[in-house]
Amino acid sequence: MHEKLRKRITPSATGTAMPAPANTIDIIQNAEVIATSESENFPLDNIVDGSTGPGSSQWVAGSTGPQTLIFKFDTPQNITAIVYEIEEKETARTQEICFEVSTDSGAKFREILRHEYNFSPDGSTFQREELKQDLPQITDLKMTIKPDKGHLDCRAKLNHIAFQS
Query: Could you tell me if residue 136 is inside a domain?
Result: yes
Positions of the chain with pLDDT lower than 50, given as ranges:
7, 10, 12
Query: Could you tell me if residue 145 is inside a domain?
Result: yes
Query: Could you tell me if residue 113 is inside a domain?
Result: yes
Query: Could you tell me if residue 43 is inside a domain?
Result: yes
Contact between 157 and 125 (Cβ < 8 Å)? no
Task: Report which of 118, 125, 113, 115 is spatially closest to residue 152, judged by C-alpha positions.
Answer: 118
Task: Report which of 13, 11, 14, 10 is spatially closest to residue 56, judged by C-alpha positions.
Answer: 14
pLDDT at 33: 95
> For residue 90, how many C-alpha atoms fall within 13 Å in the half-sphere facing its CB?
9
pLDDT at 2: 61
pLDDT at 12: 47
Amino acid letter for position 126 = F
pLDDT at 17: 59
Query: Could you tell me if residue 54 is inside a domain?
Result: yes
Query: Could you tell me if residue 96 is inside a domain?
Result: yes
The residue segments making up the domain with residue 155 are: 33-164
Give the number of domains in the chain.
1
Query: Could you tell me if residue 28 is inside a domain?
Result: no
Contact between 103 and 30 (Cβ < 8 Å)? no
Distance of alpha carbon 147 from alpha carbon 157, whole angstroms:
8
CATH number, position 102: 2.60.120.260
| C-alpha angle 31-81-159 in degrees, rounded to nearest 5 | 65
pLDDT at 22: 80
Query: Could you tell me if residue 5 is inside a domain?
Result: no
